[in-house]
Structure 1
């Protein structure tokens, strides 16, 4: 009686190959499940960035570990032969995809140094900048930002490392400047009083800010230089609304009103409200004024 030879794919029996495919799908599912469960367990207990990366590490560990075990037992996987071929493949990939390699290395640097983290408000670049954006996701090659207009900006990680990054969330406040020009004949003290009163009437404007607290868990995951930057920050006590006279020209006095807020995404709304109120109050007292956001 003639026995048929098993069907082979690359020297591997067909049934073993299909078993490996099923195991691959199963471990991909388990990796995603592990990510979801750990992310839910860590959210609210540690920073969003820490929760994301810890969950991602567990996800990839489950997936790659499962694939390795499945390949070892089902496909007679030879690690030494694979390492040799991987070395040759790595050289080819490194030469042909320098930009991808740069982005991956930049992603590792962002993970270690953490110049930006999830949910932080930042501005990236010189001119033109990205504008005020929130960090939505950081992957191995790409950082995803969301602007105030709702649009998503996909930036290569290498651009984050190489560009100037202004991080407003680290100090938890942002400055708003409004320029006022009034004739030299008006009562400057009265203009100053009105400008300060309008600022104080908005509950979103900081009056007497203090140091923002951080949990011990957040401090635990900070690198020494991050803690040093926080300890070297200037004392913000008393950083309330201020009015400065900056120039006198052609019969007009130019003043700059400086206010600060912790409601970073509401900067434009606070500026609009301030301009509307200051113009209304000065016009009600017959004080000519030219106002604009500085």
Structure 2
């Protein structure tokens, strides 16, 4: 009586193929476990970005190494023969996946040059392409941003490299502009005095009129990253709250109030409080005013 051979899948015995699938699942689990364990070891000792990338590299080493070893010993996988058999198919796949390759290369450049890092506040592209966002994750192909509205933006790494990126966390400052429109008959000196007084009363707005305020602003430009960008020290008077006449139209004078803040995520709250207080004080003095923030 002739004994039949075990069922084959592409010349591979069925039991060997099932064992390979179980090994695949096992190495995926081990890769994720290695990532989490390394993150626990490194978190708090190195920067979040370094911990993440170290964990990700270890994860891929475990998964890819495990899959290759399983394929070689269970499926008799021959890497040289596989590479030689790719031929034209490999070229077609490479061309069709050019966008993926671009994003992977961009991810490597982001890791090396570090134009953005985890937990930094940035704007990508011309405003308001993304608006003010925090960097939540950087993978090999995608950067995940979270806007002030809570929404997540999945952006290809190639877009980060190719686009204009404004990094507010590196600069440490964010400008808020408020437009005030008052009648031409209004006391402009009084309006200016009120607008500056409200700015000076908010501790979250940068003040340069005293030594403590100047020291706080100067310390931002003494950070190592900022020192590499400029050899001269900035004129700190530029970051003093200021009021400028923007235009005069149809009996109204438009003023622009410029203030700078360090608490970047609180931008909207600071602007809202400032507007409310300016309107309250000017209306108490019976000065008609129209206002908006940007």
TM-score (norm 1): 0.84
- The unaligned stretches of length 5 or more in structure 2 are 208-212
Distance verdict in 2 for CA 1:275–1:115, change over 3 Å: same
**1:191 aligned partner:** 191
Contact 1:211 1:236 in 2 (8 A): no
Give the root-mean-square deviation of aligned CA atoms: 2.8
Determine if the alignment matches structure 1 residue 211 to structure 2 residue 202: no
User: What is the distance in 2 between the residues matched to 1:194 and 1:79?
Assistant: 75
User: What is the distance in 1 between the residues matched to 2:240 and 2:99?
Assistant: 46
SS in structure 2 at match of 1:193: helix
- The unaligned stretches of length 5 or more in structure 1 are 220-225
User: What is the distance in 2 between the residues matched to 1:228 and 1:86?
Assistant: 50
SS in structure 1 at match of 2:24: helix
Q: Deviations over 1:196-239 (max 9, x none)?
A: 22112222222222324999xxx7xxxxxx67644558637553
**1:55 aligned partner:** 55
Task: Say which is worse superposed, 39-48 or 178-187, in terms of deviation.
Answer: 178-187
SS in structure 2 at match of 1:198: helix
User: What is the distance in 1 between the residues matched to 2:235 and 2:197?
Assistant: 21
Determine if the alignment matches structure 1 residue 261 to structure 2 residue 261: yes
Contact 2:148 2:265 in 1 (8 A): yes
Determine if the alignment matches structure 1 residue 174 to structure 2 residue 202: no
SS in structure 2 at match of 1:190: helix
1:9 Cα deviation (Å)?
Answer: 2.9
Equivalent pairs counted in the alignment come to 285
TM-score (norm 2): 0.84
Contact 1:210 1:236 in 2 (8 A): no
